[in-house]
Structure 1
Amino acid sequence: MFANLKYVSLGILVFQTTSLVLTMRYSRTLKEEGPRYLSSTAVVVAELLKIMACILLVYKDSKCSLRALNRVLHDEILNKPMETLKLAIPSGIYTLQNNLLYVALSNLDAATYQWPSDSQLDSKELSAGSQFVGLMAVLTACFSSGFAGVYFEKILKETKQSVWIRNIQLGFFGSIFGLMGVYIYDGELVSKNGFFQGYNRLTWIVVVLQALGGLVIAAVIKYADNILKGFATSLSIILSTLISYFWLQDFVPTRWLYASSSSSCS
């Protein structure tokens, strides 16, 4: 059972990461009339969806009893404030990372977005402006994600609380930090055009995929190891590159990418 969960979670991670990167890139570069959706609000909605999904999973684990669900949430979250507060740090980092992901994919093609995480960058391969901004965003996200992943893995494997309870705690703080970001950076736009301005079917697909990512990452950290997770990420890079080149046609290979592909996937 444990082995099945490990490989299933890794397979879903490959699908989720590839799909999210491609659909998010497309949604941020698609030309459309009216205001574009705000990435800061999308991050908040994804966190709320993640909380709802985890509550449903806890409800299922509680044998579909509302009374049992209420008791579990009360005992594991409200009655353990210090345990809940432990998730504030990785939650803040993940919220920052999710916002940076939008910045990166608004300025880079999907393949280039994924390469820097394991490679050294030759600045001669880059043009000024948006590509530089995008690469700085993705590099910052990579470094912060590494710390948050180690911290979250330590919490998950050293405590008896379920993955779903931990994700509820993570999503709670993520929603708070995300709303702070909405208020600080996009408060004026929200008051003018609404929280859900520019939302369409594609936007909701991106939001759902991002919410799914939070669940999958937690499952991978819980049931798999870093070597297999790295293999899944490398496979996702290859898939994103192939789809970007042959289908989206928004990616032109460079010498830097050929070199980094060898080092990333070796």
Structure 2
Amino acid sequence: MVTNLEQKTAKAFPEKKNNLSVTRFLVLVVLCLQNSVFTVLRRYSQGVLKEKYSKYEVLLFGEIFKMVFSACIILMQDDRQRTLLRHVIFLLSSARKMFMLSLIYGMMNILSYVALKNVSAGVFTICAQLKILTTATFSAIMLNRKYSATKWRALLTLIAGVLLFSEPVWNQKDVLKTSLRTDEGGDLVLGVASVLAEVTLSGFASIYFEKVIKTDMTNKNLNIWERNIQLALGSLPVYIAFILADGGGEAGYLGGWSIVTVILGLLGSAGGLLVALSIKYGDSILKTLATTGAIVLSSGLDHYLLNGPMTAVMVLSGFVVIMAIFNYSLDGGVPVPSMMSDSVSKKLDGDKTSQAMVDEEVNVGHMSD
């Protein structure tokens, strides 16, 4: 459903709207490709090469690289003539909301760890698809977005398609047995509760980040690169704590690293930057669609490169996922938060009035001729 604001935007700034659509499309495509390559390379690293590096060290490396890359972009673009030290102090002093988001991500990692200790990969995969619905629900609640029945239907179809596409995971003969994990003292209720809490926090975190980026008037001059630095600064203590608690994993501190591990860290860092850009130029739901589409693409790459599973059910459900993504994307424009509508609408109305006055003068000139 296209809102009045979107209609005004399209009429007032057609070229700007087209450029934004192209940018949004490119960011989402690159995000989908990044997710796919990252997934396949991670499977190659751990499933084929059997590398024993600490995943928390890889995450920490990715955050450091993301922070350094963002700092370089800021230094090249910054025209405010601030010293690096003053800039860092300013970012730290205004990073309260980003630090809160970092803590949420840390909690999500803990919940994922608890969940995978108590339920099978199949149960985890099924429950994890609820991220799509939790993201849409928090978007409606926190940003007052209105989604048409077509979009809700597309999201439900997308979830069904992904669940069917995950058939090789959850259709194992021992899925029920492994989900109970009785031999390891696991608790199915605790595992399911953990994964449900994790997907709820995931939906909240996505919308919270989007809200901060698009509606935070307190620090409205902060760009997406500065927000990434704030988020990275908040994440560093979390990952360092995980590394210390894990003791560096099986290989010890900084053990088991290879060129593949470094590439994984760089790809993970790129994913964080692309997620931020996808939210800036689109919204959290479109970001979720891109990452969901990556499941299909990565499975295709996994099948052809690493002899991964590919069944008739997966092929058909892959088409269902793709059609659901197109169904959602082609149903009007990106919903606009109503909290932003009034100010933007007034600006558009003013521009429309000015344009009408110009058109009237031109018409009068033609009549006098």
Q: Smaller-chain TM-score range?
A: 0.7 to 0.9
Q: Which runs of structure 2 are paired with 1:177-216 in the superposition (5 Å)?
A: 177-186=238-247, 189=249, 194-216=252-274
Report the alpha carbon displacement of residue 264 of structure 1 after superposing the two structures with TM.
Answer: 7.5
Equivalence for 2:101: 90
Q: Does structure 2 conserve the Cα–Cα contact (< 8 Å) formed by 1:18 and 1:236?
A: yes
Match for residue 60 of structure 1 among 73, 76, 84: 76
Tell me the distance in 1 between the aligned counterparts of 2:87 and 2:235.
18
Report the alpha carbon displacement of residue 114 of structure 1 after superposing the two structures with TM.
Answer: 9.7
1:144 and 2:204 are equivalent in the alignment: no
1:163 and 2:224 are equivalent in the alignment: yes
Change (3 A) 1:151 1:7: same
How many residues align structurally? 250
Which range moves more in the overlay, 246-255 or 219-228? 246-255
Match for residue 73 of structure 1 among 87, 107, 111: 87
Report the alpha carbon displacement of residue 157 of structure 1 after superposing the two structures with TM.
Answer: 0.6
Equivalence for 1:5: 23
Q: Which runs of structure 2 are paired with 1:183-262 in the superposition (5 Å)?
A: 183-186=244-247, 189=249, 194-226=252-284, 228-253=286-311, 262=320
Report the alpha carbon displacement of residue 236 of structure 1 after superposing the two structures with TM.
Answer: 1.6
Change (3 A) 1:254 1:130: farther
Letter in 2 for 1:211: S
Report the alpha carbon displacement of residue 11 of structure 1 after superposing the two structures with TM.
Answer: 2.0
Change (3 A) 1:59 1:185: same
Q: Which has the larger radius of gyration?
A: 2
1:29 and 2:37 are equivalent in the alignment: no
Change (3 A) 1:223 1:74: same
Letter in 2 for 1:202: V
User: Which deviations, in whole Å up to 9, do the C-alpha atoms of 1:48-78 show, x marking residues without a partner?
Assistant: 1111111111111126x9x635266246314
Tell me the distance in 2 between the aligned counterparts of 1:213 and 1:62.
24
Q: Does structure 2 conserve the Cα–Cα contact (< 8 Å) formed by 1:113 and 1:138?
A: no
Change (3 A) 1:216 1:168: same
Report the alpha carbon displacement of residue 152 of structure 1 after superposing the two structures with TM.
Answer: 0.5
Q: Which runs of structure 2 are paired with 1:32-51 in the superposition (5 Å)?
A: 32=50, 36-51=52-67
Tell me the distance in 2 between the aligned counterparts of 1:96 and 1:26.
28
Change (3 A) 1:164 1:124: closer
Equivalence for 1:117: 129
User: Which deviations, in whole Å up to 9, do the C-alpha atoms of 1:191-216 show, x marking residues without a partner?
Assistant: xx553110001101110000011111
Report the alpha carbon displacement of residue 234 of structure 1 after superposing the two structures with TM.
Answer: 3.9
Which range moves more in the overlay, 16-25 or 140-149? 140-149
Letter in 2 for 1:47: E
Change (3 A) 1:152 1:202: same
Tell me the distance in 2 between the aligned counterparts of 1:69 and 1:16.
34
Percent sequence identity is: 23
User: Which deviations, in whole Å up to 9, do the C-alpha atoms of 1:85-121 show, x marking residues without a partner?
Assistant: 21123213334556859x97xx969xx9699525366
Letter in 2 for 1:219: L
SS at 1:51's partner residue? Answer: helix
Letter in 1 for 2:87: L
SS at 2:255's partner residue? Answer: coil
SS at 2:309's partner residue? Answer: coil
C-alpha RMSD of the superposition: 3.9
Letter in 1 for 2:129: S
Q: Does structure 2 conserve the Cα–Cα contact (< 8 Å) formed by 1:115 and 1:260?
A: no
Report the alpha carbon displacement of residue 261 of structure 1 after superposing the two structures with TM.
Answer: 6.6
Q: Does structure 1 conserve the Cα–Cα contact (< 8 Å) formed by 2:127 and 2:196?
A: no
SS at 2:105's partner residue? Answer: helix
Report the alpha carbon displacement of residue 16 of structure 1 after superposing the two structures with TM.
Answer: 1.0
